[in-house]
């Protein structure tokens, strides 16, 4: 059985990646692994890149080197126009270490409490990286535009999804069905772009 290492331990992201990848890969022939499945501790990656692409590559390359498998990683962030692009690269840690999604959302709302609705434009940005143990790598970017609401809505998704309104749906990312989200999200767009590399980059090179 062929194997692909996903460089995340986030349960919501793992489920989303599995759903997106099954559109492009035969998952009956490929086992998707996460760091929790590995028999030994894997290295903690310091995400000190200057861009989403650099951080995604750091994670993918570190896991590919440590496991000997093709690794897929993404780096994702919310970039708010009124905040000068913040939280951006620091989206997961902006409110402090070990904070919950609810705490990060509350922090974002406090930072934007004086920003009127017509000035709350934002973009979710996702860069997906594939890396091989031999050093080969490739990246793809997806961007989804929306508006940051003044209070959360919806119980689906994860991260900042409950605050991110998509104008074309007039619903937040957290209010979309999984099918709707996987058609328009930043991560879905990035996976779709990188899909053209999957047959050659993954299937022909994965270890059995």
Active site residues: 75
Q: How far apart are CA 208 and CA 86, in angstroms?
A: 42
- Which residues share a beta bridge with 32? 4
Conformation bin of residue 162: beta by default, left when phi > 0, alpha when psi is -120 to 50 = alpha
Q: Which residue has the tokens 């689906």?
A: 156
Distance between alpha carbon 193 and the CA centroid of its chain, in Å? 14
Chain-centroid distance of CA 136 in Å reads 21
Q: In whole angstroms, what is the distance from residue 175 CA to residue 187 CA? A: 17
The alpha-helical segments, DSSP class H, found in 98-185 are: 101-111, 178-184
Distance (Å, whole) CA 39 – CA 3:
14
Q: What are phi and psi of 33, to 5 degrees?
A: -110, 155
């Amino acid at each position: 059985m062929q194997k692909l290492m996903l460089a995340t331990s986030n349960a919501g992201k793992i489920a989303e990646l599995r759903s997106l990848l099954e559109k492009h890969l035969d998952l009956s022939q490929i086992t998707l692994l996460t760091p929790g499945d590995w028999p030994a501790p894997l290295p903690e990656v310091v995400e000190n890149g200057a861009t989403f692409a650099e951080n995604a590559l750091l994670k993918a390359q570190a896991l590919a080197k440590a496991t000997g498998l093709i690794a897929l990683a993404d780096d994702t962030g919310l970039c708010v126009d009124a905040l000068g692009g913040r939280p951006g690269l620091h989206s997961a840690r902006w409110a402090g270490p070990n904070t919950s999604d609810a705490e990060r959302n509350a922090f974002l709302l406090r930072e934007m409490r004086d920003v009127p609705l017509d000035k709350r434009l934002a973009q979710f940005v996702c860069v997906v990286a594939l890396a091989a143990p031999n050093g080969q790598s490739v990246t793809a970017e997806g961007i989804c535009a929306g508006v940051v609401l003044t209070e959360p809505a919806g119980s689906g998704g994860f991260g900042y999804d409950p605050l991110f309104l998509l104008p074309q749906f007039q619903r937040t990312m957290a209010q979309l069905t999984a099918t709707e989200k996987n058609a328009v999200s930043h991560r879905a767009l990035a996976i779709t772009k990188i899909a053209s590399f999957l047959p050659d980059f993954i299937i022909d090179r994965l270890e059995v």
